Amino acid sequence: MSEAHLKTGDPLPPFNGRIRLFAMRFCPYAERCILVLNAKKIKYDLVFINLHKKPEWIFRFNPKGAVPILEYEEGKAIFESGIINSYLEEYYPDPPLLASNPLKRAQDRIVCELLSTVQDTYYTVAFNRNTLTTESIEAYHRGLKILQKDLSSRGTTFLVGDKPGLVDYTIWPFLQRFLALPLLGKPELAITEEKYSVLLKYIEALKNDPAVKTYYLSPEIHAMFIESRLKGNPKYNMLVSGQCSL
């Protein structure tokens, strides 16, 4: 796998006979799919896309030109992380990543829905930090406290159980990025041991999960990419060009 992002004018790499995911290295939605692919130990190819200078051929696979996109057969693709992961769960059922109980599956979906306000705060900081309001900060912490309470009530290492499931892989990419927010000049958004000891324990357990570990980037690297995007020159290839260290 190359960390280089393909751009306008670059040719479409040849299809090698196995599924491939079109992604962007710093995209949380694409990461959700990568974690599921990793957890199910599916062999796949990964192609990174420069979203500011998109290759012309990307629109063949998704009319919106957005990632993630899963090419399941040569020239045939599906897109949107939720759709892709539902397909992967059904087509590659082992190991199962969804809870077997219908009520628990519904509760897991509620967790993801409640965290949407927390994600909104992240995007405010990442795209226009000067518009961050007191209400947004309160909503951010309210969402994190709900997640921590849910983790405490379940009494398991992960939301699904002793091993991560789809809900864990769905919320992880944003939890990972939340840790970068204090590095972007927003200490009021820090996830501190004093307030979030249970949540931090969960984050550490996820960070060491094999499916997560192989794709993990530190908060410092995420902060560097966000800063480059805020300056109008997103460094998609920063992991290739040696501008940061892992």
Q: Can you give the residue ranges of every domain in the chain?
A: 5-95, 102-226
Q: Write out the H or E segment, with its range, that includes residue 142.
A: helix 134-154
**What does the pLDDT look like over 56-83, one tens digit per residue?**
999 999 999 999 999 999 999 999 999 9
Average pLDDT, the chain: 94
Identify the band that residue 117 occupies on the pLDDT scale cut at 50, 70 and 90.
Answer: confident
Q: Which of 27, 33, 112, 244 is catalytic?
A: 27
Neighbours of 20 (CB within 10 A): 19
| CA–CA gap between residue 147 and residue 140 (Å, rounded) | 11
Phi, psi (deg, nearest 5) at residue 228? -65, -35
Give residue 241's pLDDT: 60
To the query of whether residue 27 is one of the catalytic residues in this protein, the response is yes
Identify the band that residue 208 occupies on the pLDDT scale cut at 50, 70 and 90.
Answer: very high
Fold identical between 5-95 and 102-226? Answer: no
Its pTM stands at 0.94
**What does the pLDDT look like over 232-243, one tens digit per residue?**
899 999 998 655
| CA–CA gap between residue 42 and residue 37 (Å, rounded) | 5
DSSP strand pairing (69-73 vs 20-23)? antiparallel
**What does the pLDDT look like over 122-174, one tens digit per residue?**
999 888 888 899 999 999 999 999 999 999 999 999 999 999 999 999 999 99
Identify the band that residue 1 occupies on the pLDDT scale cut at 50, 70 and 90.
Answer: low
DSSP one-letter code for 227: H
Identify the band that residue 121 occupies on the pLDDT scale cut at 50, 70 and 90.
Answer: very high
Sign of CA dihedral 157, 160, 163, 165: negative
Written out in words, the top-level CATH class of the domain with range 102-226 is mainly alpha
Q: Where are the beta strands (DSSP E) in the chain?
A: 5-6, 20-23, 45-49, 69-73, 76-79
Residue in the block written with tokens 């965290």: 115
| CA–CA gap between residue 169 and residue 157 (Å, rounded) | 14
For the cut 60, the answer to whether the pLDDT of residue 120 exceeds it is yes
- CA 230, distance to chain mean position in Å, is 19
Establish whether the linkage from the previous residue to 11 is cis, with ω within 30° of 0.
no
**Fold adopted by 5-95:** Glutaredoxin (3.40.30)
Give residue 219's pLDDT: 97
Secondary structure class of 180 (helix, strand, coil): coil
